[in-house]
Structure 1
Amino acid sequence: MQAGWDDFRLVKAVADRHGLTGAAESLGIDHSTAFRRLGAIEKSLGVCLFERHRSGYKATAAGQAMIDVAARMEADIDGFARAIVGQSDAMVGELRITAPTSFANTFLMPILADFSRRYPAMRLELIFAEETLNLSRRDADVALRASRGPDETLVGRRLTGIGWALYGAAGRSFGPLAEEDWVGLTEGVAGGLFTQFIRQRTAPERVVLCLNGVAGLREAVASGIGIGPLPCVEGDGDSRLQRLGGLEPELDRDLWLLTHQDLRRSARVRAFMDHMAAAMLPLRPLFEGRAVSP
């Protein structure tokens, strides 16, 4: 039996997710089906593709060779799909957008609603994720990302700066901030930038809660668990919060709207990027922290 694309895709999924359970979930099949298919592939090829360990599946030399082929096939397929979409001038079909979860409750929904009214034949798929999705694989067509510079493989526009400041629960009085309880983002967010920021301002024992996302951080501060840094677009627009000082330049980020270079000529992508850029202009003072005085 000659291995087909579905066989290569299963083997790569097992490697990517270190086992059958994650591979099955990613491919939309059940565990028993994945188990049978992998066994059938190994039997037909006459080789063992994975060593089974308690820590997960580890590819053998034959398995790695198949994974490498699968990666090249996947890249070619993704490239073909991007090229087709990039050549399309039709304002119909699907557009996949990814954005941080916190944007759901701030500014994004009204902008998407207006875009949908203008282009009713288009269907939007919105993926909220804190992790960075892969635009080369078309996990999404366009991405809203807060960063200090986009990946060199991507193209797009800087929409606005993002100012940050310290916030606490509204209606409370605060003493020296170093003596207050703090909440912050985990070490894995932004390379530990926010962890370092807090370490420079208070003792480790004053940090009572760490989270992996801004939306949860806002709720923690508003609930009075502790004070903490927030983007001004999150903090200044929430009546449950009060700003505790000026802007913190070392936390500044830019908001980028990005796409893969193969998609930059797509009519759907161009229309969405133009729409977002125009809609963001009046929102810049809020994002940059200039809408209110501390």
Structure 2
Amino acid sequence: MAEPFKNLSWDDFRLIKAVADARGLPAAAMAMNVNHSTVFRRLKQIEDQLGTLLFERHRTGYALTPAGEEMVALANRLDEEITAVGRKLAGREPAPSGELRVTTPDSLLIHLLMPMLATFRARYPEVRLDIVLSNQPLNLSKRDADVAIRATDNPPENLVGRRVARIAWALYGRAVDFPEPRALTQEQLDACNWVSLGDSLGALKTVKFVQENVPPDRVAYKINSVLGIAEAVEAGIGIGHIPCLIGDARPSLVRLGPPNNDYAADLWLLTHPDLRHSPRVRAFLDFLAGEIARHRRFIEGQIELPDENGSEKGVAERVAPEPLATSSEATA
């Protein structure tokens, strides 16, 4: 089958693609800036050379045959490769642009990502961000989102991405209620009211801890939002487990113990394999990975936010984690 292709030029593939896109000869001729008879004659020559029809002629237009579909698919691949080589030879990649849909939980958006997204927009003004607040698994294959930012130890197997940090959790209460948290006794903790994530999130270890260790009459408040837990603790409803990046950012809260490694979760930047080389997706993943790396010690609970004098409030009583790979396949 290779011989019939020998005398086909790129212009012949362009002609086939133009007829397929226009579903007829007049519009295809206009798109190629040639006359109708030229397209008709050259298409017949191509089909004769290949020994097969590429289009079925109907009153409503030209419809691809199976052979025509294969030729158009080949034309599309050639077009992409020729364009890519041209960019490489010109020494430039296309500037990131267009809409980028990103899904993230509200707690990460408000307490970590918002300043980063603002800086990204300033650096890449042609990229428009569409943020979807959700912690549910969206279908990236159907473009429900282009990038998913998730705290999980089991990322979906059909996605690829980068593990950029490990989110630490600790027990928090109001600073006004616990002026000496290091001197807190177990008896004092047993007398406290608790706030917890709801039973619908029972797979989380913090929820299991409350279910197994806190009397039901001491669980004063449940909510299905990590951000809502922090708000409830800050309001004085009770003590509760909160990600350190949220708890340490609130001056009114204080840790009642060191971060618990059992409650930590990996922070992933995920995308679909077909999108990983998209200029806007690649630019976003690279940028966000770099920004998160700058805040990694804070995310992982090793330090608290600087005080007004620019010095750290304190170092968490926690063993530093092993370094994470900057990029890997997201496998469960």
**TM-score (norm: length of structure 2):** 0.60
| Residue 106 in structure 1 maps to residue 106 in structure 2 | no
Unpaired segments ≥5 residues, structure 1: 1-83
Aligned to 1:36: none
Aligned to 1:282: 294
Aligned to 1:245: 257
Q: Which has the larger radius of gyration?
A: 2
| Residue 210 in structure 1 maps to residue 222 in structure 2 | yes
Q: Is the 8 A contact 1:183 1:226 kept in 2?
A: yes
Instruction: State the alpha-carbon separation in 1 of the partners of residues 125 and 205 from structure 2.
Output: 41
Instruction: State the alpha-carbon separation in 2 of the partners of residues 97 and 275 from structure 1.
Output: 14
Unpaired segments ≥5 residues, structure 2: 1-79, 85-92, 179-183, 305-314, 317-332
Instruction: State the alpha-carbon separation in 2 of the partners of residues 185 and 151 from structure 1.
Output: 23
Q: Is the 8 A contact 1:178 1:203 kept in 2?
A: no
| Residue 199 in structure 1 maps to residue 211 in structure 2 | yes
The 3-state SS of whatever aligns with 1:188 is: helix
Q: CA deviation at 1:176?
A: 2.3
Aligned to 1:57: none
Aligned to 1:144: 149
What are the superposed Cα offsets for residues 42-86 of structure 1, whole Å, 9 maximum, x if unpaired?
xxxxxxxxxxxxxxxxxxxxxxxxxxxxxxxxxxxxxxxxxx9xx
Aligned to 1:65: none
Instruction: State the alpha-carbon separation in 2 of the partners of residues 148 and 227 from structure 1.
Output: 25
Q: How does 1:119-268 map to 2 (within 5 A)?
A: 119-173=124-178, 176-189=188-201, 191-268=203-280
Letter paired with 1:269: V
Instruction: State the alpha-carbon separation in 2 of the partners of residues 217 and 115 from structure 1.
Output: 29
Query: 1:224–1:212: structure 2 CA closer, same or farther, 3 Å change rule?
Result: same
Identity of aligned residues (%): 44
Q: Which range is displaced more, 272-281 or 189-198? A: 189-198
Q: How does 1:18-167 map to 2 (within 5 A)?
A: 89-167=94-172
What are the superposed Cα offsets for residues 127-176 of structure 1, whole Å, 9 maximum, x if unpaired?
11232322122111001100013111000001101100000012113652
Aligned to 1:55: none
Q: CA deviation at 1:113?
A: 1.1
Count of aligned pairs between the two proteins: 209
Q: CA deviation at 1:276?
A: 0.4
Letter paired with 1:146: A
Instruction: State the alpha-carbon separation in 1 of the partners of residues 252 and 145 from structure 2.
Output: 34
The 3-state SS of whatever aligns with 1:191 is: coil
Q: CA deviation at 1:89?
A: 4.7
**Higher-strand-fraction structure:** 1
Q: Which range is displaced more, 276-285 or 199-208? A: 199-208
Q: Which range is displaced more, 254-263 or 172-181? A: 172-181
What are the superposed Cα offsets for residues 3-59 of structure 1, whole Å, 9 maximum, x if unpaired?
xxxxxxxxxxxxxxxxxxxxxxxxxxxxxxxxxxxxxxxxxxxxxxxxxxxxxxxxx
Q: Is the 8 A contact 1:179 1:202 kept in 2?
A: no
Q: Is the 8 A contact 1:178 1:201 kept in 2?
A: no
The 3-state SS of whatever aligns with 2:101 is: strand
Superposed CA RMSD? 1.9
Instruction: State the alpha-carbon separation in 1 of the partners of residues 202 and 157 from structure 2.
Output: 18
The 3-state SS of whatever aligns with 1:180 is: coil
Instruction: State the alpha-carbon separation in 2 of the partners of residues 104 and 190 from structure 1.
Output: 23
Letter paired with 2:254: Q
Letter paired with 1:246: P
Q: Is the 8 A contact 2:202 2:208 kept in 1?
A: no
Letter paired with 2:287: H
Q: Is the 8 A contact 1:167 1:230 kept in 2?
A: yes
Instruction: State the alpha-carbon separation in 2 of the partners of residues 132 and 188 from structure 1.
Output: 16
